[in-house]
Amino acid sequence: MNTRKNLLSAPIFLVVFLLQETIMNQIHLPIGGFSVFLIFTLGWCALSTPETGALVGFGAGFLLDVAPHSQGPVGQWTLVLIVTGFGIAYLRYGDDSFRASPLSLVVIVAVGVCATLLFYIGTGALLGMDFGSTFQLVKTVLGNGLWSLAVTPFLLPIISRLHGNIFESREFK
């Protein structure tokens, strides 16, 4: 883990967050749509060590928490993304076959998006949040997963190039 390198990735996340909040949120896609910021975060975590994954999850979750649209208490997204960021990085870090195949990366990011949303619903339910009908919840989670599956292949080259530029792929050696 290198603090300087992690700090270097912060502006990239800020830009993606701004893109998500200003432009992506205005696009209304059928069955729920997707979050570029979430895909970017999980993709980034998947390429990193578990420690970096948790740190990135912390930073990204905190940004989502202070977003004006966020309804839960500050800290909920942070908690959710620390755990999923660490989890996704841990899953991939120990497994060489995983790292070699881009397809598995796409699948794991899409599953990660679903898992993140489910975890968010779970913690939200514990904190007494109101989520509406079950059908709507299932639609949002599945819709996000499917859209992520479709969009991630286009975003991954950008994520891995940016990640490579900052970390120079030395973490894996």
Partner 1 sequence: MRRSGDNRSRLLLVTLIVTSLFFITLDLRGVQVMSGLRNGAQTILAPFERVASSAYSPLGNFFSDVAHLGRTRAKLKKLEDQNAKLRTTLIAHKGQDAQIKALKSILDLAGTAGYKIVNAKVISQGSATSFSQTITIDAGANMHLTRDMTVICGEGLVGVVKVVYPSTALVMLASDPAFRVGVRIAGTQQIGILSGQGTDHAVLQLLDSQSSVKVGDALVARGSQANKPFVPGVPVGLVTSVSNSAGSVSQMASVKYYAHMNSLGVVGVVIKAPAADPRDALVPKAPVPTPTPTVTIFVTPTPTPSASPTK
CB atoms within 10 A of CB 25: 15
Using the rule CB under 8 A, is 50 a contact of partner 1? yes
| 171 near partner 1 (CB under 8 A) | no
**DSSP H or E stretch at residue 55:** helix 50-66
Determine if 130 is a binding residue for partner 1 (CB under 8 A).
yes
Considering only residues 67, 142, 149, 166, which one is a binding residue for partner 1 as defined by CB under 8 A? 67
Radius of gyration of the chain (CA): 15
Stretch that binds partner 1, among 5-13, 27-35, 100-108, 153-161 (CB under 8 A): 27-35
Closest CA to 57 of 76, 73, 72: 76
Determine how many CB atoms are found less than 10 A away from the CB of residue 153. 13
How far from 148 is each of 131, 132, 167, 169, CA to CA, in Å? 22, 23, 25, 25
Work out which of 10, 23, 150, 158 binds partner 1, going by CB under 8 A.
23
Q: Figure out which of the listed residues 43, 57, 112, 145 binds partner 1, where binding follows CB under 8 A.
A: 57
Residues near partner 1, by CB under 8 A: 18, 20-30, 32-35, 38, 49-51, 54-55, 57-58, 61-62, 65-71, 73-76, 78-79, 82-83, 86, 93-94, 117, 120-121, 124, 127, 129-133, 136-137, 140, 144
